[in-house]
Amino acid sequence: MDNLHEKVWFRCLNVIKDNIPLNSYNTWFAPIKPVKLDNHVLTIQVPSQFFYEWLEEHYIELLKKTIRKELGKNGRLEYSIVMDSAYNNNQSKPYTVNAPTLNRKALKNPPVTMPLDLNKDTGKTVPNPFIIPGLKKLNIHPQLIESYNFENFVQGDCNRLARSAGIAVGQNPGKTSFNPLLIYSASGLGKTHLAHAIGIEVKNNFPEKTVLYVSCEQFTNQFIDAVKNNNQNDFIHFYQMIDVLIVDDIHALAGKPGTQDVFFHIFNQLHQSGKQIIITSDQPPVEMKGIEPRLLSRFKWGLSADLQIPEFETRISILNKKLYNDGVEMPQNVVELIASSITSNIREMEGALISILAQSSMNKKEITIELANNIIQKFVKSTPREITIEYIQKVVGDYFDIPVDKINSKTRKREIVQARQLAMYFSKTYTKNSLAAIGSKLGNKDHATVLHACKTVKNLYDTDRSFKKHFDELNDSLKIRL
């Protein structure tokens, strides 16, 4: 190193590294850059106001001792604080801090400095509860699961639109019409996997971009902590740094007006800055309850894509893919048995597969149909049974002796229309599918048609005794499965 200020700071870092955990050093000291050394005053550059405050709260004593050791009793440390451009609509605005009140004042001049008073009595510091790994953009951990990638996400008719949109976003984040991209489905159909896959695709294509996956519960808890400790601005500033924000289970914002409000402002800032937003939900926006209309309208700006229950062939492919990734083999007739026995939840289907492999390995038994069937029966009995749209179609069709393809046809015959309307009503009642998904499976109808069918069924139930009898008998048949 040719410059004295770099040599001095390098020696300081060696001392600091020996006195704090390595992860803390990498987060809070590795990003700092030495700027100059003038008359025993060492100036270091930190990336933000929040960064400066954190150092002052947590490491001031260590900094005091280190600077005195390297520069003597007259040594001083000054901070050059540069606000990240993502904080202020892509306009870099330096901030200064006036100790001890920490008032903030925007300046038009070059980055200003804040001296570290080596004689100041710091007293007891209050930890900042807003803790996410790292602060500087390069140090923000994306919290992505590497195995949840596109290579391991099997494509089928059930997820083709959502997967294609996800790949497009991963290859061009913030630049497509899919912003926000909302992925919705019932539990266990791959929403979280797809969300992670998009984040991983972005990181592979754009390593410099900051990607963050966070559950809605985690986001809410962080905001509550920020409110308690009066550092909401730090919370907002942090999220405005993100290039690709992935929020899982956004429906969990229901009934939380304060968190909805802060997410609304973060959403607007990111969207206006051309950043990508990806959210998942168990419902489409039109069916979300307890979410403010202004936020719901933002969810509708981009694309809402649903993941439906995978067809038999896709379930087979999912199981074979997992076997291949795990490096194990299983008779194909056993794979088909699993796929035909557990139809509505990929997570449970994979759980049954793992149980069969575990039993075979622990008991040193060959995997056979008999072994698999015994395990599947126990597994299914211990797992809540789910009713699918396909099952409802079959029950209604058998009851009225109408083929399923007739129920899904465009015919307007009264008896077939009523059967279709009943299937729509029971699908809405007993499944977690969206109205749009129900309509697509029952004659390729839109969500408005499904709503109309549900209203019609309720009216006929109250006015038509014969229809009421059919309804009750069908309802009893479906309840038996639960």
Please report the pLDDT score of residue 322 as a whole number: 86
Looking at per-residue pLDDT, the higher value among 53 and 25 belongs to 25
Please report the pLDDT score of residue 379 as a whole number: 60
CA angle at residue 161 from 160 to 165, to 5 degrees? 115
Q: What would the mean pLDDT of 113-136 be, rounded to a whole number? A: 42
Q: Is the pLDDT of residue 287 over 70?
A: yes
What is the full DSSP assignment across 268-306? HHHHHTT-EEEEEESS-GGG--SS-HHHHHHHTSSEEEE
Domains of the chain by start residue, with CATH: 4-127 (3.30.300.180), 150-306 (3.40.50.300), 312-381 (1.10.8.60), 389-481 (1.10.1750.10)
Q: What would the mean pLDDT of 106-119 be, rounded to a whole number? A: 41
Looking at per-residue pLDDT, the higher value among 92 and 345 belongs to 345
Under the banding of pLDDT at 50, 70 and 90, the label for residue 386 is low
The strand order across the sheet containing 244-248 reads 211-215, 244-248, 276-281, 181-184, 303-306
Q: What would the mean pLDDT of 27-43 be, rounded to a whole number? A: 86
Rounded mean pLDDT of the chain?
A: 81
β-strand pairing of 41-46 with 76-81: parallel
Q: Judge whether 327 and 209 are in contact, CB under 8 Å.
A: no
Please report the pLDDT score of residue 125 as a whole number: 34
58, 70, 64: which is closest to 120 by C-alpha? 64
Q: Is the pLDDT of residue 47 over 60?
A: yes
Please report the pLDDT score of residue 174 as a whole number: 92
Question: Which tokens hold the place of 148?
Answer: 């949840």
43's enclosing H/E stretch is strand 41-46
Under the banding of pLDDT at 50, 70 and 90, the label for residue 418 is very high
Percent residues over pLDDT 70 in the chain: 84
Q: Judge whether 237 and 50 are in contact, CB under 8 Å.
A: yes
Q: Is the pLDDT of residue 137 over 70?
A: no
Please report the pLDDT score of residue 24 as a whole number: 72
**Distance between CA 234 and CA 50 in Å, rounded?**
6
β-strand pairing of 76-81 with 113-116: antiparallel
418: number of CA atoms within 13 Å, CB side? 17
Q: Judge whether 232 and 261 are in contact, CB under 8 Å.
A: no
Lowest average pLDDT, out of 39-43, 284-288, 384-388, goes to 384-388
Q: Which residues are paired to 96 by β-bridges?
A: 105
Q: Is the pLDDT of residue 118 over 80?
A: no
Q: What would the mean pLDDT of 25-31 be, rounded to a whole number? A: 80
Please report the pLDDT score of residue 480 as a whole number: 63
Q: Judge whether 296 and 182 are in contact, CB under 8 Å.
A: no
**Distance between CA 249 and CA 252 in Å, rounded?**
6
Please report the pLDDT score of residue 131 as a whole number: 41
Q: Is the pLDDT of residue 88 over 50?
A: no
Please report the pLDDT score of residue 23 as a whole number: 66
Q: Judge whether 389 and 431 are in contact, CB under 8 Å.
A: yes
Total residues found in the chain within this entry: 482
Q: Is the pLDDT of residue 422 over 70?
A: yes
170, 263, 181, 183: which is closest to 216 by C-alpha? 263
Please report the pLDDT score of residue 343 as a whole number: 78
**Distance between CA 91 and CA 113 in Å, rounded?**
19
Please report the pLDDT score of residue 111 as a whole number: 41
Prediction pTM value: 0.52
Q: Which CA distances in Å does 326 have to 191, 329, 335, 357, 464? A: 22, 9, 15, 11, 57
Looking at per-residue pLDDT, the higher value among 482 and 196 belongs to 196
pLDDT in tens, 423-461: 999 999 988 788 888 988 898 888 889 999 999 999 999
Question: Which tokens hold the place of 49?
Answer: 């106001």
**Distance between CA 180 and CA 277 in Å, rounded?**
5
Please report the pLDDT score of residue 187 as a whole number: 81
Under the banding of pLDDT at 50, 70 and 90, the label for residue 277 is very high
pLDDT in tens, 354-379: 888 888 777 778 888 888 888 787 66
Q: Is the pLDDT of residue 39 over 80?
A: yes
**Distance between CA 43 and CA 34 in Å, rounded?**
6
Lowest average pLDDT, out of 132-141, 144-153, 243-252, 366-375, goes to 132-141
Looking at per-residue pLDDT, the higher value among 109 and 150 belongs to 150
Please report the pLDDT score of residue 471 as a whole number: 93
Give, rounded to a whole angstrom, the gap between the first and last alpha carbons of the chain: 72
Q: What would the mean pLDDT of 215-233 be, rounded to a whole number? A: 87
